[in-house]
Structure 1
Amino acid sequence: MDAHRLLVFRQIARSGSIGAAARVLGWTQPAVSQHLRHLERQAGLPLVLRRPRGIQLTEAGRTLLGHADALATRLHAAADEMNALAQLEGGTVRLAAFPSAGATVVPAAMSLLAARHPALDVRLLQAEPPEALELVTVGEADLAVTFAHDGQPFTVPSGLVALPVGEDPVRLVLPNGHAQAEAAAVDLRSLAADRWIAGCERCTAHLERLCLAAGFTPDIRHGSDDYVVAQSLIAHGLGIGLLPQLALEAFHNPGVTAREVPGLRPRALHVVHHREAGRTPAVRAAVRAVRDAIAG
Structure 2
Amino acid sequence: MFDSRYVRVFDEVVRTGSFAAAARNLGYTQPAISQQMKALERSVGTPLFMRVGRRLRLTDAGEVLARHASGILGAISAAQQQMTAITRLKSGRVRVYAFPSASATLIPTAVASIKSRHPGIRIELIDAEPPDSVEALRRGDCDITLAFTYDAPSEQPESDDLYTISLLDDPLIVLLPKGHPLARRRSVELAQLAEERWIAGCVRCRSHFIESCATAGFEPHIDFTTDDNLAVQSLVAAGTGIAVMPSMVRSFISHPKVVSRPVLPADSRTVAAYTLSGHQKIPVTRLMMEALQLAADKMRGE
The answer, yes or no, to whether TM exceeds 0.5 is yes
How does the TM-score come out when normalised to structure 2? 0.67
Separation in 2, partners of 1:164, 1:84: 30
Query: Structure 1 residues 187, 84: closer, same or farther in 2, change over 3 A?
Result: farther
Separation in 2, partners of 1:174, 1:293: 29
User: 1:89 Cα deviation (Å)?
Assistant: 5.8
Query: Structure 1 residues 86, 269: closer, same or farther in 2, change over 3 A?
Result: closer
Query: Structure 1 residues 159, 84: closer, same or farther in 2, change over 3 A?
Result: farther
Letter in 2 for 1:291: Q
Query: Structure 1 residues 83, 229: closer, same or farther in 2, change over 3 A?
Result: farther
- 2:258 maps to 256
The answer to whether the Cα contact below 8 Å between 2:237 and 2:258 also exists between their aligned partners in 1 is yes
| Unaligned ranges ≥5, structure 2 | 1-79
- 2:142 maps to 141
Confirm whether residue 87 of structure 1 aligns to residue 85 of structure 2: no
What SS is found at the alignment partner of 1:104?
A: helix
Q: How many residues align?
A: 217
The answer to whether the Cα contact below 8 Å between 1:196 and 1:240 also exists between their aligned partners in 2 is yes
The answer to whether the Cα contact below 8 Å between 2:86 and 2:92 also exists between their aligned partners in 1 is no
Letter in 2 for 1:254: P
User: 1:84 Cα deviation (Å)?
Assistant: 5.5
- 1:98 maps to 99
The answer to whether the Cα contact below 8 Å between 1:97 and 1:128 also exists between their aligned partners in 2 is yes
The answer to whether the Cα contact below 8 Å between 2:177 and 2:257 also exists between their aligned partners in 1 is yes
Confirm whether residue 230 of structure 1 aligns to residue 232 of structure 2: yes
Residue identity over aligned pairs, in percent, reads 34
Confirm whether residue 190 of structure 1 aligns to residue 182 of structure 2: no
How does the TM-score come out when normalised to structure 1? 0.69
Equivalent positions of 1:166-181 (< 5 A) are 166-181=168-183
**1:25-67 deviation digits (Å, cap 9, x = unpaired):** xxxxxxxxxxxxxxxxxxxxxxxxxxxxxxxxxxxxxxxxxxx
Letter in 1 for 2:277: R
What SS is found at the alignment partner of 1:204?
A: helix
The answer to whether the Cα contact below 8 Å between 1:136 and 1:274 also exists between their aligned partners in 2 is yes
Separation in 1, partners of 2:198, 2:165: 33
**1:68-111 deviation digits (Å, cap 9, x = unpaired):** xxxxxxxxxxx9x9456543463111111111111111011101
The answer to whether the Cα contact below 8 Å between 1:89 and 1:282 also exists between their aligned partners in 2 is no
User: 1:158 Cα deviation (Å)?
Assistant: 5.5
What SS is found at the alignment partner of 2:212?
A: helix
Separation in 2, partners of 1:271, 1:161: 8
Letter in 1 for 2:120: A
**1:227-275 deviation digits (Å, cap 9, x = unpaired):** 1111111111111111111211221111111000233222101101111
The CA RMSD measured in Å over matched residues stands at: 2.0
What SS is found at the alignment partner of 1:169?
A: strand
Letter in 2 for 1:97: A
Separation in 2, partners of 1:245, 1:82: 41
Query: Structure 1 residues 280, 89: closer, same or farther in 2, change over 3 A?
Result: farther
Bigger CA radius of gyration: 2
